Structure 1
Amino acid sequence: MNVRIEEINEENWYDCCQLQLTEEQSAYMESNAISIAQTKFEPSLKAYAIFYDEIAAGFLMFNSVKEELEGHWIYRIMVDKAYQGKGIGKKATELMLDEMAKLPDADKIVVGYHPDNEGAHNLYKSLGFVDNGDRFGREMAVIKYL
């Protein structure tokens, strides 16, 4: 599968802003445009475009410094609705986890998501994240130990 990730830059940011989730998924996540804007005010956030066969097909974002639960947090993982179901999100997340593992003191990665988001639940479970019962408001947090 030809999937790669590339840091958001002047050549790919607009394509990422055009990507869309399904209507149901939109309730769980901010738009990519808001996420990209957020990186301009919070420089520890790192944003990446997901490319599938050289086409922008998704978006990722994580924090390069530790936060709650003493871990590095994944902020966004999204694949455009036209490219879902092809394994692109899982492959791109694996690539992102490789990048996150290079961070100083990276020993665990945390991601939060709404408990009703079954797609997120299945993805993180398949990648070795575990649920230790941590909750933050409406979201559950799962952890991958490196």
Structure 2
Amino acid sequence: MIRLRPYKSCDAKVIAEWIKDKEVYMKWGGELFGEFPISAEIIDDKYMNKNGDCVEEDNFYPWIAYDDENNIVGHFIMRYLNGDNRILRFGWVIVNDSIRGKGYGTQMLKTGLTYAFDVLGVDKVTIGVFENNENAHNCYKKVGFVDKEIKESKPWNIIEMEIGNGSR
């Protein structure tokens, strides 16, 4: 069973270790952190300092997914869109590179969606995925997200996806 807990500074080292090459870094959204390679210090500074000073206060929630043995298996963030507490955005989704493709991402996101809909009471959750990230795209579809539009972006176009509370 996958459980979620809030991110702690010590988690940054684990997340950074999963990002071994520039392609993974870019597909994760790393360009928002600066240049590859990424370090634990950069991740933690972004999460604990820079996003805390954002225009929309109290709008950035990083999560850690862990298994029954307390092993960290994944990570993602939640944030409200445009100050609307009925629409939540998932982002910076990543799973431990040694266990990718084994269903942990699906379990993590399902747990996140349960929290979003049942605890936070949102109506809709959105997520974006680069067109060339087929594995992540398939994972998101498996969870129930549906494609809504393709946005032109650099370095790759983004497939915008969403799931409504009644779609689970």
User: Is TM-score (shorter-chain normalized) higher than 0.5?
Assistant: yes
The aligned counterpart of 2:47 is: 36
Residue in structure 2 matched with residue 96 of structure 1 by the alignment: 112
Give the TM-score normalised by structure 2: 0.71
Amino acid across the alignment from 1:45: F
Distance in 2, Cα, partners of 1:39 & 1:98: 24
Do the aligned residues in 2 keep the contact of 1:39 with 1:47 (CA within 8 Å)? no
Q: Aligned partner of 1:100: which letter?
A: A
For residues 106 and 20 of structure 2, the distance between their equivalents in structure 1, rounded to whole angstroms, comes to 18
Structure 1: segments with no counterpart, 5+ residues: none
Shift of residue 86, structure 1, vs aligned partner: 2.0
2:18 and 2:97 in contact (8 A); partners too:
yes
Between 90-99 and 130-139, report the one with greater CA deviation.
130-139
**Pairing partner for 2:61 from 24, 46, 51:** 46
Structure 2: runs of 5 or more not aligned: 31-37
TM norm structure 1 = 0.81
Query: Sequence identity, in percent?
Result: 17
Give the 5 Å matches for 1:1-146: 2-9=1-8, 12-21=10-19, 23=21, 24-29=23-28, 30=30, 33=43, 36-37=47-48, 38-42=50-54, 43-52=58-67, 53-63=69-79, 65-67=80-82, 71-101=87-117, 102-104=119-121, 106-135=122-151, 137=153, 138-146=157-165
3-state SS, counterpart of residue 98 of structure 1: helix
Cα separation, 1, equivalents of 2:61 and 2:111: 14
1:9-30 Cα shifts (integer Å, max 9, x gaps) = 35x4344444313533222122
1:141–1:17 Cα change, 3 Å: same
**3-state SS in 2 of match to 1:133:** strand
Q: Is the 8 A contact 1:67 1:73 kept in 2?
A: no
The 1:17/1:140 distance shift into structure 2, 3 A limit, reads same
- Structure with the higher strand share, 1 or 2: 1
